[in-house]
Structure 1
Amino acid sequence: MSLVAVLLLCHLAAASLTITIPATNLLPNPHGLPASTHATLTTLPSGNDHLLTASLTHASTLVFHDIPAQQESYLLDIRSSEYIFAPYRVDVAADGSVLGIWETFRGNPWDNRGAEKYVVDAAAKKQSDVVVEAKLVGRRGFFEERAKFSPLSLVKNPMILLAIVALGFTLGMPKLMESMDPEMRAEFEEHSRSSPLTGGASNALAGGGFDLAGWMAGTSPNPMANADAAPAGVTGRDTGAATRRR
């Protein structure tokens, strides 16, 4: 009878660790976590390796019951197929009570502790049930999101901007000319006629430049015929002059 009482007292004195999953912006509803979500407590590689597992409950908590009464340091991992949680370091005393919980960092020395989550108070009575909150780091992304079409992307194109500016000048210049007073319009036309570019174009048109449309229609002479006739005439005159010299 005394042995049963001792076992019962040991069971009642065994500490438990509860991890709650709070609601965040990344996870508004913790109850939507996959059913395969679970947590593990793993010891450092040594002769007495321990691996404890806790499954997700209906209350969105992970509970470790009956932590072994042995002074040990554990790595707490929360494993989920859709979300990433920060790992914790859990130190346990020889009687199985939790001494402290801190954030830890993978790839760094084990003594490099992060933010403190729980530390036992030496003056107060040890708690048999320790409750801490999990820290959600991010969500796993297995697929790259396709870029969405936005009308603003057209405005960012330099060619589209040039076309818009050219269209604005084409439609705006006639309106601007109509709104000008007669004196300003006369001055503008005078400057346009005196411009080298505009004057050269006017002289080319007035001087009877090559008429492509007329030549293609057959009403204008071929300019190459005049070019071929000129060297022939020059050659004849040169030949006649040479004959007279003889």
Structure 2
Amino acid sequence: MVTLLEASPQDTVLVFTGDMVHGPDALTEQQWPDYLGTPYKDESPEVIQAFLRAQARYPGRVHCLMGNHEHAHVGGPRTAKFHADEAQVLEERMAPDEVQTLRSLIQQLPLVAVAPNGVVLLHAAPSAPLRSLAQLEDVKLEGYFGWGIEEFFRESVLGPMLWSRMATAEQARAFLSVLGGRIAIYGHDVVREGYERMGLEQLCVSTSFALLDEHKTYVQLDLGTVYPDVQMLREGIELRRLYG
């Protein structure tokens, strides 16, 4: 469950760090609370179809990592940010064949993407006690339905990989060393300013709910450039606003 990102200088590789699905679908703009940021309507089924079309059009160049919201559809703890059971609510909005397509897609999603320049992409903070790549290949996705988040978080590798909101510098360096990486870039948590650097090894970026559109941030990297630490990622160059 590791993807190696390789591309020629002319190619672009797109990687989502997970959580493509789930969102508010029953709130009007008048009901929208300030803490959810800029109002938007959940379009998870449309997002999945657009992602599949992009993968078909650009083979090997469009990727998504597994997030905790995707995992809820294939055996993980059920997420409950916008509904008591977001996976159930979404699947009830979809036709049976669409549900099967969604689950099949999720079961193939990698947990980690590694670029040749030492950048490691993952969904949550790099706190998992990783000792070998085999641990990522051997994870079991099913069997956690009904588990509480705290209980699942203690599931040595998969729990932190999908749910961790922070990692110490020591944890991050240990995680990266197994993958031959220098810096870790992840999402999962909300950063209202759009991104946050943690020490030299970690960058958390946010493009989802709880942010105003003008703060939502993505990262654009040159796969041929080595970035020694996250302090080398520059506003307006590598760190770009999604809207603006």
- TM-score using structure 2 length: 0.21
Higher helix share: 1
Tell which has more relative contact order, 1 or 2 (C-alpha 8 A, sep 6+): 2
- TM-score using structure 1 length: 0.21
Higher strand share: 1
* Bigger Rg, structure 1 or 2: 1
